């Protein structure tokens, strides 16, 4: 984290995005060292948001991606892989650094239309860090019944294997 802090914020976000995108484009789980780097990057809100916007593989404004309000459909297989990568990283993190990873996993579940499961991840994140604001705000959004925009359109909504013909 000290190495990340020593960089200019924009440069740190670009470097983190490059590493994360390589992980998303790979078919292999990252090394423990790469997991540590990923976990460290998620500790910085401006980097976390950039990395979250990288997940769906859509070239649209980050704020549209984060709220699932894009013209393009997300690459759901990439999102599923991101979730697997984050779960893998979570198993290698310490409790004091877990909230950002857990919140992101929960957010992915919200994108997929799994509000109850997303809520469970927010609760886990808040159990590890009761002051983690992003988890608290996201959980409030879930509690208000806000549905990810992608799930309001059959062409962009997440489909499970049960939904497919």
Helical pair 115-128 and 133-143, crossing angle rounded to 10 deg: 150
2-152 belongs to CATH 1.10.12? no
Domain ranges in the chain are 2-152
Q: Are 119 and 135 a contacting pair, CB within 8 Å?
A: no
What is the C-alpha to C-alpha distance for residues 86 and 30, in angstroms, rounded to an integer? Answer: 10
pLDDT of residue 163: 52
Q: What is the pLDDT of residues 77-103, one digit of tens each?
A: 999 999 999 999 999 999 999 999 999
User: Which residues neighbour 11 within 8 Å (Cβ) at sequence distance 6 or greater?
Assistant: none
CA 78 to chain CA centroid, Å, is 11
| DSSP states of 118-145 | HHHHHHHHHHH-TT-HHHHHHHHHHHTT
pLDDT of residue 97: 96
pLDDT under 70: residue ranges of the chain: 161-165
pLDDT of residue 160: 75
47: its two tokens: 């980097």
Q: Is the model's pTM score more than 0.75?
A: yes
Q: Are 19 and 37 a contacting pair, CB within 8 Å?
A: yes
pLDDT of residue 2: 87
């Amino acid at each position: 984290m000290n190495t990340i802090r020593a960089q200019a914020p924009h440069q740190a976000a670009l470097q983190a995005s490059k590493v994360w995108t390589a992980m998303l484009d790979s078919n292999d789980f990252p090394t423990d060292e790469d997991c540590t780097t990923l976990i460290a990057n998620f500790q910085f809100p401006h980097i976390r948001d950039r990395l979250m916007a990288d997940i769906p593989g859509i070239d649209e404004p980050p704020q549209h991606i984060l709220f699932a309000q894009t013209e393009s459909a997300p690459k759901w297989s990439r999102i599923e892989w991101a979730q697997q990568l984050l779960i893998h990283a979570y198993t290698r993190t310490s409790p004091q650094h877990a909230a950002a990873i857990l919140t992101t996993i929960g957010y992915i579940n919200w994108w997929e239309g799994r509000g109850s499961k997303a809520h469970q991840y927010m609760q886990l994140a808040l159990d590890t860090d009761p002051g983690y604001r992003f988890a608290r705000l996201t959980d409030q959004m879930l509690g208000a019944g806000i549905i990810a925009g992608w799930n309001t359109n059959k062409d962009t909504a997440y489909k499970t294997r049960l939904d497919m013909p």
